[in-house]
Chains A and B, each alone.
Chain A
Amino acid sequence: MRILSDVPVGDIVKVKSNDAKDSLKERLLALGLTNGADIEVLRKGPKNNLTVFRIRGAMIALRKEESKYIKIM
């Protein structure tokens, strides 16, 4: 099972499931991290933790703590 936080920079992946809970899940869904969404990994920040993704045409930075809940195909 691959998770979003393990995807290397430059790859484009598809969301398989969003396993976050409660308000984080709401937030991620609101940003467009729904099943089947295409996500491009743009850049890793300091300490390789915060990562910039292109989600639905916007650049969104997520920490590993959040992106680990996104399973990808």
Chain B
Amino acid sequence: MGLTVQSMKRNSMNDVRLIDNSDNKYVIALAGNPNTGKSTVFNYLTGLKQHTGNWPGKTVVNARGEFKHNNKDYIMVDLPGTYSLFTSSKDEEVARDFICYGKYDAVVVVADATCLERNLNLVFQISEISNNVILCINLIDEAKKKNIIIDKEGLESELGIPIVLTAARSGIGMQKLKNTIEQVSHNKKRYEPNIVKYNSNIEKNIETLKPFLEKLNISNTRWTALRLLDSEEDVVPDKQLHSLLNKANITVDKEVIREQISEENYNYANKLKQNYVSEDIKKINLDKKIDDIITSKIFGIPIMLSLLGLIFWITIQGANIPSQILSDILFGFQDKLTLLFKTLGVSDFLIGMLVDGLYRTLAWVVSVMLPPMAIFFPLFTLLEDLGYLPRVAFNLDHMFKKSCAHGKQSLTMCMGFGCNAAGVIGCRIIESPRERLIAILTNNFVPCNGRFPTIIAVSTAIFITSKISGGIISALSITIIVVIGILITLLVSYLLSKTLLKGIPSTFTLELPPYRAPQIGRIIYTSIIDRTIFVLSRAVLIAAPAGAITWILANINIGDFSILIHISNLLDPIARMIGLDGFILMAFIVGLPANEIVLPVLIMAYLSTGTLTDIGSSEYFRQILIDNGWTYLTALNVMLFSLLHWPCSTTLWTIKKETGSIKWTVVAFILPTAIAFIVCFLTTTIYRLIF
């Protein structure tokens, strides 16, 4: 759910290798296995709000931030998580390229204290490239809970690099980390990492290659020699080196060498763990016991659906009162605003446009959209922080496999709940281009934060008949809508795999990270702040002007009717076929820049044709819909259409950027649109046959 104000900034996708330290800033790279808390370390140091969450692959773009320590400036680059410098997924390539060929003054390798053996492999690899390596053993608080004890001094002398034990979430060890960064990046203290010595055959070949490399002025001879021995040529970009093995008369099986190197790295990691880390098996098995239930064949999917339903129920119930309060305040202010303008002598037309158009839409977006978002997202983030999302991927894998899609598509799908644009960017965790495209094209079928409140508002307005059961019914109906979205995702993925994007599922490895206690206070604080800023900025930038324009269209007449009614009449025949009306379809079209404005625009369109009275209460909203001929079918189809229709313009722009293809962007628009029309046409036809 990587939607933050930060990640939406366009420049977050810039190539990090371009960072230069010309203005006396020290560049610090932050590397590490996926899911070790790199982003948390990054956020703590830079004060930025890079999205964090307990699942591998969440940071797919490099974030950069700055911090000051002892009057020195530092640029921090948060690299995507990577298990090794030799893997080939797109996000890992970014990390590899930066570590191997970027300019930096120090690398902080963040490692998970509860899984040190696996994490050390990357530490060894990076130590071969740079002398300025700092090992930040993070999540030390989690390790303590699991009775894992790490002999820091012993490990430090063994590795020959400085080690800092941290718990970035609570700030433990972070001052020490800053001091160590200063020491290492300013070369105040020289370190000589103890790098792994390989078997005699490999070492002999390195020695043979060294003179050749030295002659060519290659700086890091050992690392380059190793890569010539074990990698494809493109890992070493310098073309004159490619023929070096021939020149030196070395014939090796690169694959075998790579295997031996990995094996010896891991054997050493295992030895270090045996010597310097003590574990408590009982505590470690606790996660396994929880997973036995959460990911069990019988309970896994029912638990998942119940959790989703519960979240919706809490959202709906919890949003009621704040929504009411906000709308009382905001709409109460509307009359005062009108009065003020009147006394200032502003013309009626201008008052109408500014107050009834612009201000009212703004007030609507804030009072109706904000509370559910501010409740839904902390709850969802809670699950994310716990480490639940990879379990979802685990539970759903067999379905995605059957659709010939990538197993990680369920993770990108979950990101879509926050924002489809973020979900589309998140698809970078999928290596295979075919499956990445499928994930991108279908991401739209999970409702994003702009559509959730629309769906919630419609379902509460139409399906709540009694106060007690109403919340449950509407939570249930939203859960069903989401399940429909997931089924459509699977179906479309399957169809795409059999037609436009033929192929079989590619390889898939999924790490189930340890469960971690979420920091409830921080989650609530950051997600509410983040949502509020996001909603308010969208309200000002998009909803307000759209409101003003809609009002103008509703109040300028051509012939006997306003322009708005002309447009609506034009759309009405098509809209009726799919169980909507012309105004609804028009609102969806106007909502292209942001789905949040669909309902406010619709309400204004409805009200412009009738008389205006007090708006704001949910009863009144229900009344407006029913007065305009809404039935259960209309409500259902609005929810379905909202779920399935074209992506918003931001998402389309992101798809264009991510696929680099106009053709696929067009497909990304037409495909969901066609599906929305077909599905709504079917429900309408069936409904009319029955009733």
Chain A residues packing against B (C-beta within 8 Å): 18, 20, 23-32, 34-37, 42-47, 49-50, 52, 55-63, 65-66
Assuming the A-B contacts A30-B83, A45-B394, are A23 and B507 also in contact, with contact meaning beta carbons closer than 8 angstroms in the complex?
yes
Can you list 24 contacts pairing A with B, beta carbon distance less than 8 Å?
A25-B255, A26-B86, A26-B88, A30-B262, A31-B118, A35-B263, A36-B267, A43-B291, A45-B295, A46-B297, A46-B300, A46-B397, A49-B397, A49-B398, A49-B401, A52-B291, A52-B394, A57-B116, A58-B118, A61-B397, A61-B511, A61-B512, A65-B507, A66-B507
List chain B residues, Cβ under 8 A from A24. Answer: 507
The listed residue (B270, B509, B512) touching A27 by CB distance below 8 A is B509
**Which 6 pairs across A and B sit closest by C-beta, in order of nearness?**
A30-B84, A30-B83, A34-B263, A29-B262, A56-B118, A59-B512
Q: Could you tell me the distance in whole angstroms from the C-beta of A63 to the nearest C-beta in chain B?
A: 6
The listed residue (B121, B431, B509) touching A60 by CB distance below 8 A is B509
Q: B512, A60: Cβ atoms under 8 Å?
A: yes
Q: Could you tell me the distance in whole angstroms from the C-beta of B90 to the nearest C-beta in chain A?
A: 12
Residues 504-534 (chain B) with a chain A CB within 8 angstroms: 505, 507-514
Is B471 in contact with chain A by the CB < 8 A criterion? no
**Interface bin, chain B:** 35 or more
Please report the C-alpha to C-alpha distance between residue A29 and residue B269 in the assembled complex, in whole angstroms: 14
List chain B residues, Cβ under 8 A from A62. Answer: 508-510
List chain A residues, Cβ under 8 A from B401. Answer: 49, 63
Please report the C-alpha to C-alpha distance between residue A6 and residue B643 in the assembled complex, in whole angstroms: 42
Q: Could you tell me the distance in whole angstroms from the C-beta of A47 to the nearest C-beta in chain B?
A: 5
Residues 254-269 (chain B) with a chain A CB within 8 angstroms: 255, 258-259, 262-263, 266-267, 269
Please report the C-alpha to C-alpha distance between residue A31 and residue B80 in the assembled complex, in whole angstroms: 16
Q: A23, B509: Cβ atoms under 8 Å?
A: no
Q: Could you tell me the distance in whole angstroms from the C-beta of A43 to the nearest C-beta in chain B?
A: 7
List chain A residues, Cβ under 8 A from B158. Answer: none
Q: Could you tell me the distance in whole angstroms from the C-beta of B31 to the nearest C-beta in chain A?
A: 14
Please report the C-alpha to C-alpha distance between residue A46 and residue B273 in the assembled complex, in whole angstroms: 34
Overall SS of chain A's interface: mixed
Q: A18, B259: Cβ atoms under 8 Å?
A: yes
Q: Could you tell me the distance in whole angstroms from the C-beta of A40 to the nearest C-beta in chain B?
A: 9
Name the residue among B116, B117, B431, B505 with the largest chain A CB count within 10 angstroms. B117
List chain A residues, Cβ under 8 A from B507. Answer: 20, 23-24, 27, 65-66
* Per-residue contact bits, chain B 310-326, to A (CB 8 Å; 1 contact, 0 not): 00000000000000000
Is B407 in contact with chain A by the CB < 8 A criterion? yes
List chain A residues, Cβ under 8 A from B87. Answer: 23, 26-27, 30
Is B288 in contact with chain A by the CB < 8 A criterion? yes
Residues 109-131 (chain B) with a chain A CB within 8 angstroms: 114-118, 121
Q: Could you tell me the distance in whole angstroms from the C-beta of B126 to the nearest C-beta in chain A?
A: 13
List chain A residues, Cβ under 8 A from B270. Answer: 56
Assuming the A-B contacts A26-B87, A45-B295, A45-B394, are A63 and B266 also in contact, with contact meaning beta carbons closer than 8 angstroms in the complex?
no
Q: Could you tell me the distance in whole angstroms from the C-beta of B260 to the nearest C-beta in chain A?
A: 9
Q: A42, B288: Cβ atoms under 8 Å?
A: yes
**With A27-B509, A29-B84 given, can you name 15 additional A-B contacts, CB distance below 8 Å?**
A27-B88, A28-B509, A29-B258, A29-B262, A32-B266, A34-B259, A34-B262, A43-B295, A52-B394, A56-B118, A58-B511, A59-B512, A59-B513, A59-B514, A61-B510
Name the residue among B258, B291, B507 with the largest chain A CB count within 10 angstroms. B507
Please report the C-alpha to C-alpha distance between residue A29 and residue B85 in the assembled complex, in whole angstroms: 11
Q: Could you tell me the distance in whole angstroms from the C-beta of B278 to the nearest C-beta in chain A?
A: 13
Please report the C-alpha to C-alpha distance between residue A42 and residue B296 in the assembled complex, in whole angstroms: 12
List chain A residues, Cβ under 8 A from B508. Answer: 62-63, 65-66
List chain A residues, Cβ under 8 A from B407. Answer: 50, 63
In the complex, residue of chain A having the shortest beta-carbon distance to the beta carbon of B265: A34
Please report the C-alpha to C-alpha distance between residue A28 and residue B86 in the assembled complex, in whole angstroms: 11
* Per-residue contact bits, chain B 79-117, to A (CB 8 Å; 1 contact, 0 not): 000011011100000000000000000000000001111
Q: A56, B115: Cβ atoms under 8 Å?
A: yes
Q: B295, A26: Cβ atoms under 8 Å?
A: no
Is B194 in contact with chain A by the CB < 8 A criterion? no
Q: A60, B510: Cβ atoms under 8 Å?
A: yes
Assuming the A-B contacts A23-B87, A42-B288, are A56 and B394 also in contact, with contact meaning beta carbons closer than 8 angstroms in the complex?
no
List chain B residues, Cβ under 8 A from A18. Answer: 259
List chain B residues, Cβ under 8 A from A60. Answer: 509-512
Q: Could you tell me the distance in whole angstroms from the C-beta of B510 to the nearest C-beta in chain A?
A: 4
Q: Could you tell me the distance in whole angstroms from the C-beta of A4 to the nearest C-beta in chain B?
A: 13
Is B151 in contact with chain A by the CB < 8 A criterion? no
Q: Could you tell me the distance in whole angstroms from the C-beta of A21 to the nearest C-beta in chain B?
A: 9
In the complex, residue of chain B having the shortest beta-carbon distance to the beta carbon of A42: B288
Please report the C-alpha to C-alpha distance between residue A37 and residue B401 in the assembled complex, in whole angstroms: 28
Name the residue among A24, A49, A60, A63 with the largest chain B CB count within 10 angstroms. A63
In the complex, residue of chain A having the shortest beta-carbon distance to the beta carbon of B261: A29
Q: B266, A43: Cβ atoms under 8 Å?
A: no
Please report the C-alpha to C-alpha distance between residue A48 and residue B558 in the assembled complex, in whole angstroms: 66
Q: B117, A27: Cβ atoms under 8 Å?
A: no
Please report the C-alpha to C-alpha distance between residue A43 and residue B267 in the assembled complex, in whole angstroms: 26
Q: Could you tell me the distance in whole angstroms from the C-beta of B108 to the nearest C-beta in chain A?
A: 20
Please report the C-alpha to C-alpha distance between residue A27 and residue B115 in the assembled complex, in whole angstroms: 17
Q: B86, A30: Cβ atoms under 8 Å?
A: yes
Please report the C-alpha to C-alpha distance between residue A24 and residue B266 in the assembled complex, in whole angstroms: 18
Q: A63, B115: Cβ atoms under 8 Å?
A: no
Q: Could you tell me the distance in whole angstroms from the C-beta of A59 to the nearest C-beta in chain B?
A: 4
List chain A residues, Cβ under 8 A from B114. Answer: 57
* Per-residue contact bits, chain B 393-410, to A (CB 8 Å; 1 contact, 0 not): 011011001000001000
Is B153 in contact with chain A by the CB < 8 A criterion? no
Please report the C-alpha to C-alpha distance between residue A29 and residue B257 in the assembled complex, in whole angstroms: 12
Is B292 in contact with chain A by the CB < 8 A criterion? yes
Please report the C-alpha to C-alpha distance between residue A37 and residue B269 in the assembled complex, in whole angstroms: 11
List chain B residues, Cβ under 8 A from A55. Answer: 118
Please report the C-alpha to C-alpha distance between residue A47 and residue B397 in the assembled complex, in whole angstroms: 10
Q: A57, B117: Cβ atoms under 8 Å?
A: yes
Is B203 in contact with chain A by the CB < 8 A criterion? no
In the complex, residue of chain A having the shortest beta-carbon distance to the beta carbon of B402: A47
Assuming the A-B contacts A27-B83, A49-B398, are A34 and B266 also in contact, with contact meaning beta carbons closer than 8 angstroms in the complex?
yes
Q: Could you tell me the distance in whole angstroms from the C-beta of B434 to the nearest C-beta in chain A?
A: 14
In the complex, residue of chain A having the shortest beta-carbon distance to the beta carbon of B82: A30
Please report the C-alpha to C-alpha distance between residue A63 and residue B86 in the assembled complex, in whole angstroms: 22
In the complex, residue of chain A having the shortest beta-carbon distance to the beta carbon of B390: A61
Q: A32, B509: Cβ atoms under 8 Å?
A: no
